[in-house]
């Protein structure tokens, strides 16, 4: 009798496990570590969590994706190195170029002029995706998608002299990212440049070591520098983007079906991020104004001289990014 009672109890317990998912859910077969560079609440981290939820659901709980935001696993240069090694599985980060300078091709200036342009330029079936995936793959990393942050401008603590006239010296010392494309573009627009570590930008503007900053969207400028900046020039000469990537060592462990699930989930984030960026661009220009920053916006016609001057620098990148790559890029995008 006792044995019968035990069997009945075990049978009921087994049924409860099936009927009540929270009772004893099966552990995932694989957990992927997904590194990001923005804090909780930032749209980039929100989109990463959406990817994780979709992967868990569509693999029936077999694959879990654990999010590590806000540089918890290291800055983007270290994270990329760990992707190559396979000690980090996935990342949504800025792409460092020290492993291959040609990766800077994703940050070419004055290619994308509108958010509709961005939908084509960053599409999974586009030239840029194919080329970036080829370059990443040579290093042991696979590109999954782009995440778009928005158009960058120039913020400053003092007025810029004739920002729409590239023939005039601008009268400020401008912090730029450590990429040749940004250096050539800024100097073509008339700025004197300096490279400063990202975590030192705010202090440098406060102490006068730099008088302006390039490489930021208005969203980032509002979040980080609204109490420092006095002026914002919405020049839109570049579009900030992150790469969604996976280590090839991890990729090779996945079935074709699971690869498709992960790639599709990430691809959907490209479109979602562009929609977010388009709404955030105007929203944060307005918020900068409300914070006391003098904001200047321009029509495409007004920006034409700046764009013309910047695009004329593309061929000069051949020495660093390779002549062949730049020639291919120009054939693909010049005049479009």
For 177-204, how does the pLDDT look when each residue is reduced to its tens digit (9 = 90+)?
A: 888 889 999 999 999 999 887 778 889 9
Q: Are residues 41 and 165 in the same domain?
A: no
Query: Is there a domain that residue 211 lies in?
Result: yes
* Short-list 306, 312, 310, CA closest to 235: 306
CB 267 within 8 A of CB 206: no
Are residues 169 and 295 both part of a single domain?
A: yes
**pLDDT for res 21:** 43
Residue 154's nearest CA partner among 221, 101, 201, 88 is 221
Q: How far apart are CA 151 and CA 5, in angstroms?
A: 68
**3-class DSSP state for residue 13?**
helix
Per-residue confidence (pLDDT) for residue 335, from 0 to 100: 62
Task: Kindly state whether residues 118 and 208 are assigned to the same domain.
Answer: no
Is residue 125 located within the same domain as residue 32? yes
User: Are 105 and 321 within 8 A, CB to CB?
Assistant: yes
pLDDT at 197: 78
What span, in angstroms and rounded, lies between the C-alpha atoms of 77 and 81? 6
Do 237 and 310 form a contact (C-beta atoms < 8 A)? yes
- Per-run averaged pLDDT (10 residues), the chain, 336 residues: 43 41 67 92 91 97 96 91 97 92 93 92 95 98 96 97 97 91 94 87 93 92 92 95 97 97 96 93 96 97 95 93 95 78
Residues 318 and 188 in one domain: yes
Q: Is 183 found in the same domain as 72? A: no
261 within a domain of the structure (yes/no): yes
The Cα–Cα gap between 185 and 191 comes to: 9
The two structure tokens encoding residue 336: 């479009």
Predicted local confidence at residue 220, as pLDDT: 85
200 and 68 part of one domain = no
pTM of the full structure: 0.83
How far is it, in rounded angstroms, from Cα 174 to Cα 176? 6
Do 157 and 256 share a domain, yes or no? no
Q: What is the model's pLDDT at position 266?
A: 96
CB atoms within 10 A of CB 38: 21
**Are residue 167 and residue 314 in the same domain, yes or no?**
yes
- What backbone phi and psi angles, to 5 degrees, belong to 113? -110, -25
Contacts of residue 292, Cβ cutoff 8 Å, sequence gap at least 6? none
Are 74 and 182 part of one and the same domain?
no
Give the pLDDT of residue 10: 43
CA-closest candidate to residue 180, choices 1, 24, 320: 320
Residue 209 lies in a domain: yes
Looking at residue 25, its pLDDT comes to: 55
Per the structure, the complete domain to which residue 139 belongs is given by: 17-149+241-280
Domain with residue 87: its CATH number is 3.40.190.170
Taking the alpha carbons at both ends of the chain, their separation in whole angstroms is: 83
Contact present, 222 and 199 (Cβ < 8 Å): no
Q: 183 and 299: one domain? A: yes
Answer yes or no: do 67 and 33 share one domain: yes
Checking DSSP bridges between strand 90-93 and strand 30-36, what pairing results, if any?
A: parallel
| Domain total in the chain | 2
What is the DSSP-derived secondary structure letter of residue 335?
Answer: T
> What long-range pairs does 204-207 form, CB within 8 A, spacing at least 24?
204/175, 205/157, 205/175, 205/229
pLDDT digits (tens, 9 = 90+) for 67-124: 999 889 988 889 999 999 999 999 999 898 889 999 999 999 999 989 999 999 999 9
């Amino acid at each position: 009798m006792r044995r019968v009672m035990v069997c009945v109890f075990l049978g009921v317990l087994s049924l409860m496990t099936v009927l009540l998912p929270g009772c004893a859910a099966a552990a995932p077969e694989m957990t992927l570590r997904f590194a990001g560079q923005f804090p909780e609440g930032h749209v980039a981290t929100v989109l990463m969590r959406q990817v994780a939820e979709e992967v868990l659901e569509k693999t029936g709980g077999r694959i879990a994706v654990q999010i590590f935001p806000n540089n918890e696993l290291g800055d983007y240069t270290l994270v990329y190195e760990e992707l190559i090694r396979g000690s980090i599985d996935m990342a949504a980060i800025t792409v460092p170029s020290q492993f291959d300078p040609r990766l800077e091709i994703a940050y070419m200036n004055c290619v994308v002029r509108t958010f509709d342009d961005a939908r084509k330029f960053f599409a999974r079936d586009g030239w840029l995706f194919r080329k970036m995936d080829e370059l990443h793959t040579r290093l042991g990393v696979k590109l999954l998608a782009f995440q778009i942050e928005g158009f960058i401008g120039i913020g400053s603590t003092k007025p810029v002299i004739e920002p729409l006239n590239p023939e005039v010296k601008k009268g400020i010392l401008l912090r730029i990212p450590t990429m040749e494309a940004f250096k050539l573009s800024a100097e073509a627009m008339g700025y004197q440049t300096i490279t400063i570590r990202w975590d030192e930008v705010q202090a440098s503007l406060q102490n006068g070591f730099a008088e302006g900053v390039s490489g930021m969207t208005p969203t980032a400028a509002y979040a980080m520098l609204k109490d420092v900046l006095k002026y914002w020039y919405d020049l839109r000469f570049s579009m900030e983007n992150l790469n969604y990537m996976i280590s090839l060592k991890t990729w090779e462990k996945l079935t074709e079906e699971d690869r498709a699930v992960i790639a599709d989930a990430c691809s959907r984030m490209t479109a979602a991020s562009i929609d977010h960026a388009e709404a955030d661009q105007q929203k944060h220009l307005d918020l900068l104004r409300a914070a006391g920053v003098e904001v200047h916006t321009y029509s495409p016609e007004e920006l034409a001289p700046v764009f013309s001057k910047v695009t004329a620098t593309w061929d000069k990148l051949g020495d660093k990014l390779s002549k062949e790559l730049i020639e291919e890029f120009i054939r693909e995008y010049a005049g479009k």
